[in-house]
Structure formats: C-alpha cells, structure tokens
Structure 1
Amino acid sequence: MTTARERGSASLWLLAIGLVLVAAGIGGAAVGAARVARHQARVAADLGALAGAVHALDGPVVACDRAATIVSANGGRLTGCTVDGLDLEVTVEVAATPLPGLDRSATVTARAGPIRA
C-alpha cells in the first residue's frame, strides 16, 4: 500500500535514470569523436610521410609539398615537415569537435625513410 507522499516518485526515478543514460551516451559519443580524429590524424601523417619520403631526393620543398597534398586530401593539416637525409618526418593536426562548442585537435607525428638495422 502506497501513501500519498510516495505518489509520483517512480517518475522522478525514471527521469533521473534517463538523464544518466543520456549523459553516458553523450560522453561515449565525445570519446568516439576524439578517437576517430586521432585515427584520421595517424592515417594522414603516415600516408603523407610515405608520399613525401618518395620525393626526399628531390629536396625538402618538393617532399614537403607532396606530403602536404596527401595530408590535406586525408582531412589533416600539415604543421611540421623536416627532411633529414632520406628520412621525412611530418606532423599533422586534425580538428575534432567532440561536443558542440568544444573544439580540440589531434596531433600526430610520423616518420618515413629507409629501414635502419
């Protein structure tokens, strides 16, 4: 037997549980968006470094231009590029917006060049 004082308490519990589930879903979506941006930055950096390393003998300008083209085609922005002999190291940044109004970026550095023993 319920009293008049307890009437409607189930609605409040359902509302509270619903809000917790919505918050968990939003948090999960934010983490997912950040991970996707990180993977996108990693792919863009790896492909940009490989494409630029092919042109390392043509000079740093040509190699870095080629890397920048590939990085931008993969949704990234080239923020650093250095050529050291036959090695090319690129730093790539990808913008991420895990939640509206929360702008972040994922930054990754990749190196490509000959295998060293």
Structure 2
Amino acid sequence: MTPARPESADRGGATVCLLVVGLVFVLVGVFGAAIGTARTARHQARVGADFAALAGAGRALDGDGVACAEAAELARANRSRLTGCLLDGLDVLVTVEVPVTPLPGFRRVATATSRAGPIRD
C-alpha cells in the first residue's frame, strides 16, 4: 500500500512565465542586433560617400566624367554604390547607398550624401 500523494496546486505556471520571459529576451536581442546592423550600414554609407567625394574632388579639374568615374570606383571599393554625382565648379557632390538586411526578408538601403572641394576663405 503506497501513501496517497496530496493534490498539488502547482500546475506549471512558473514554466510558462519562464518561457515568456525568455522569449522577451530573445526578441529584444534580435531587434537590438537589427538596429546595430542598420547603424553599421549607415556609417558605411557615410564613409563611402566621404571617400568618393574626396576622390572625385581630386579629379575635378579633369571634368565631370572623370571625377564621377573616380568617385564611383572608390565607392565600389568601400562596398557602396554611387547613385548620384554632380560636379559644381570644383566641388563634387556624391550620393551613395549601401544595401542592408537588418532582419531576414527585410531589405533596406542606407543612403548618404557628401560634398568635397577646395577650402574657401
């Protein structure tokens, strides 16, 4: 004869609460990583635009075709794509974009614009 167990009031509520808390932590981590990825792409676009503008400004005396080709080449070297290039006197204004996928199935583009030219007083 085995003694009868007393009826327990525990029905697994703590397990469910622990799973919910764990899921919240995972979701916060995923969205934090997505924000970090987007910020990194934005910084990469800024660097690509700055370097492309400097490269284009260095060749501004050779005309807009040469300056923009040089800017596009340097943008590609920085893993970005030149989407706009305008030669204004000796100033070069470039726009680049960097593709980013912060979450699976969610593609965006980080865009940056930069201007470079001679120093003016």
TM-score calculated relative to the size of structure 1:
0.95
Give the one of 54, 66, 77 matched to 1:50: 54
Residue 6 of structure 1: how far off its partner (Å): 3.4
Give the one of 76, 81, 85 matched to 1:77: 81
SS in 2 for 1:94: strand
Alignment of 1:1-117 (within 5 A): 4-117=8-121
Of all paired residues, the percent bearing the same amino acid is 61
Alpha-carbon distance in structure 2 between the residues aligned to 1:71 and 1:77: 6
SS in 2 for 1:6: coil
One-letter code aligned to 2:44:
Q
User: Structure 1: any 5+ residue segments left out of the alignment?
Assistant: none
Instruction: Report how many residues are paired.
Output: 115
Alpha-carbon distance in structure 1 between the residues aligned to 2:104 and 2:9: 41
Q: Deviations over 1:71-108 (max 9, x none)?
A: 01101000000001110000000000000100000010
Structure 1 or 2: more helix by fraction:
1
One-letter code aligned to 1:67:
A
User: Structure 2: any 5+ residue segments left out of the alignment?
Assistant: 1-6
TM-score calculated relative to the size of structure 2:
0.92
- Spell out structure 1 runs of 4+ moving beyond 3 A: 3-6
Q: Please, which moves more after superposition, 6-15 or 18-27?
A: 6-15
